[in-house]
Structure 1
């Protein structure tokens, strides 16, 4: 598609947006796609109740790669769904293991709310390598414990949403940053944050922008994202996962066959350049960055990093802040080697084993809708 066609379609999209009935081109997500964000009934059995909170965890590409088995009484077995991997952008499954950690942390917080302790045994059959297979990620036993106290972060589970929009020109307060840092105390992670006005902020922005452009210009990662794009209410409601796009323009482009998800858009195309410009504006609006570093990159450490990230995001939510992961520069495919090295250098990570597990935008922004969820039944599997 050339620029003239793109501009013509943009104009058509705006016309459609202003002339079609609101029910036909609303950008709101279908109700069934976000129904899981309603508080679960207190009448649910305990394991289902805590899992109804766990499936709201942030996760890579919103794949929701969680498989749960409840055949053993009072026990939850968690596995990584081998059908929901990201071989191009996450070739070593690091991000997806972190996503298992976010799930486990919300499960544990929800259990505490009911007076139970989640006894989590990571990788009871040993850590897996490159092949995921059927290796259990964790065995969880829910134990009644009179000493358990509710976690204040529980109140934020239904409020926490990843916010990818433009951020407001307001620097997070020192108290808010301290609360985020305190939320991960005791976990094996090093927390870092930087705010606008500090010398390194420009380099954070530059690396984020470069990494995003590389992702959009590299066919395999771009196609991997295209495969999980859900365009329009019908696709969003049918899948309830992936990356939801529901604007009139993208729906028009898809309906007319001018947005072909079977092949990558050329780097010089108006579609890619438009996404680059939009992302650059978002990065320019970012007033703070957040990161997590670990001393090694074992699977158990990746789980712990995921637990730390979701706690930090819940704490940020409690402070009126939002987060948006910038994982592109942390991804281990060859084309990202430049940004990968640059962010490690910027954050002072020089030991080979030390790993930047998370890097994210942090700031204030208008609220956004939650991301779709497939519902608990979609994750339950027999042994």
Structure 2
């Protein structure tokens, strides 16, 4: 649950957050988890075209930053992509739909990176059936550069309130090539209410909230040790940890001041939204889900190029009993009968947010 400095100032009764000594000041100036961010700088530094493409693919957006991929190199031109079955979200994503969408993002970045390096990728999904590898990728010379690849290092999910201005018609028109874009006031207000209600359901259902809390990484040491999940780091948040205000127990307790403050932060963020983007597929097969992921990351990259912020808010698309009513409402609002809404995101203009921690490529190679 990200907490901004502006909001967290109120967490300790309006008083001083931390009585900073000289040693505390030194501590707070060195809290960037450089090891966890190193894969961003290492992207593109490999001689093998497969490793080179994979080094960009692992930067893909994925639910709760689980990074569920494992890869194996075969021969001189082939990659097999597997799902690490230990990386799932059984409470909020019981059918792995969102996880598979994340694999679609991964595959699309791999293909874009290969093309930028002059290689094509022949993808075969589920070559051994749905209980086997997610995909087989065969690399060959001859790819072309897609301009969207130029935005890979700038892509972010902006979990902050957006500016109080409408999404420009020009930007909306360009993004319509990638997703269904909603800017009209009645639909925007309906989606604000829907996304807020869905966030509350997830946050106030103990087992679904606990799933997120268990994946929180508190401070530099935890983030470097496990560069996945939900990172809570930086000098200010670590000062709250030192003060005992920001803890795992507090985040899981709906009666705590920290939890209540988080609710207000998310309320403000979700309501500061001028537009939405939705991805809808004709069916809901694994292939449909992977295609949705490929489209989602392309939308993300296009937004980065336009200076538009994008933040996924797909809680209302989750498939567990407490969310069923809102799931049905989302499908009714955003899709035609028989279709499936795969992704929903906020669109607007927001700040550039930091890079998200990643495991190094070597940690994801099954035959390194």
Could you say whether these structures have the same fold, taking a TM-score greater than 0.5 normalized by the shorter chain as the test?
yes
Structure 1 equivalent of residue 65 of structure 2: 62
Which secondary structure does the structure 1 equivalent of 2:17 belong to?
helix
Question: Distance in 1 between the 2:30 and 2:314 partners?
Answer: 26
If the length of structure 2 is used for normalisation, what is the TM-score?
0.90
Query: Cα offset for 1:37?
Result: 1.4
Retained in 2: the 8 A contact 1:14–1:249? no
Query: Cα offset for 1:192?
Result: 1.2
Structure 2 equivalent of residue 341 of structure 1: 328
Query: Cα offset for 1:88?
Result: 0.7
Alpha carbons of structure 1 residues 32 and 341: separation in structure 2 relative to 1, 3 Å: same
Which secondary structure does the structure 1 equivalent of 2:302 belong to?
helix
Which secondary structure does the structure 1 equivalent of 2:176 belong to?
helix
Structure 1 equivalent of residue 3 of structure 2: none
Moved more, 265-274 or 333-342: 265-274
Alpha carbons of structure 1 residues 107 and 320: separation in structure 2 relative to 1, 3 Å: same
- Aligned partner of 1:369 among 337, 354, 358: 354
Query: Cα offset for 1:26?
Result: 4.6
Retained in 1: the 8 A contact 2:310–2:348? yes
Query: Cα offset for 1:276?
Result: 1.5
Query: Cα offset for 1:43?
Result: 5.1
Retained in 2: the 8 A contact 1:291–1:358? yes
Q: How does 1:33-52 map to 2 (within 5 A)?
A: 33-38=36-41, 40-42=43-45, 44-52=47-55
Retained in 2: the 8 A contact 1:67–1:81? yes
Aligned residue pairs total 360
Gaps of 5+ in 2: 1-8
Q: Does 1:162 align with 2:157?
A: yes
- Aligned partner of 1:304 among 283, 286, 291: 291
Structure 2 equivalent of residue 132 of structure 1: none
Q: Does 1:192 align with 2:180?
A: yes
Question: Distance in 2 between the 1:181 and 1:86 partners?
Answer: 30
Structure 2 equivalent of residue 220 of structure 1: 207
Q: How does 1:1-383 map to 2 (within 5 A)?
A: 9=12, 11=14, 14-16=17-19, 21-26=24-29, 29-38=32-41, 40-42=43-45, 44-128=47-131, 135-145=132-142, 148-182=143-177, 184=178, 191-195=179-183, 197-246=184-233, 250-251=237-238, 254-255=241-242, 261=248, 265-351=252-338, 354-382=339-367
Q: Map Cα deviations across residues 42-79 of structure 1 (whole Å, 9 max, x no partner).
A: 55211111111000100110011110001332101001
Which secondary structure does the structure 2 equivalent of 1:15 belong to?
coil
Question: Distance in 2 between the 1:93 and 1:246 partners?
Answer: 28
Which secondary structure does the structure 1 equivalent of 2:155 belong to?
coil
Alpha carbons of structure 1 residues 211 and 8: separation in structure 2 relative to 1, 3 Å: closer
Which secondary structure does the structure 1 equivalent of 2:140 belong to?
strand
Question: Distance in 2 between the 1:47 and 1:301 partners?
Answer: 25
Cα RMSD, aligned residues only: 2.4
Moved more, 246-255 or 85-94: 246-255
Question: Distance in 2 between the 1:24 and 1:284 partners?
Answer: 35
Which secondary structure does the structure 2 equivalent of 1:301 belong to?
helix
Alpha carbons of structure 1 residues 19 and 279: separation in structure 2 relative to 1, 3 Å: farther
Question: Distance in 1 between the 2:23 and 2:344 partners?
Answer: 40
Alpha carbons of structure 1 residues 317 and 264: separation in structure 2 relative to 1, 3 Å: closer
Query: Cα offset for 1:257?
Result: 6.0
Q: Map Cα deviations across residues 174-198 of structure 1 (whole Å, 9 max, x no partner).
A: 222232233x4xxxxxx31112x52
Query: Cα offset for 1:12?
Result: 6.2
Query: Cα offset for 1:288?
Result: 0.9
Question: Distance in 1 between the 2:250 and 2:202 partners?
Answer: 14
Query: Cα offset for 1:268?
Result: 4.0
Structure 2 equivalent of residue 187 of structure 1: none
Which secondary structure does the structure 2 equivalent of 1:310 belong to?
helix
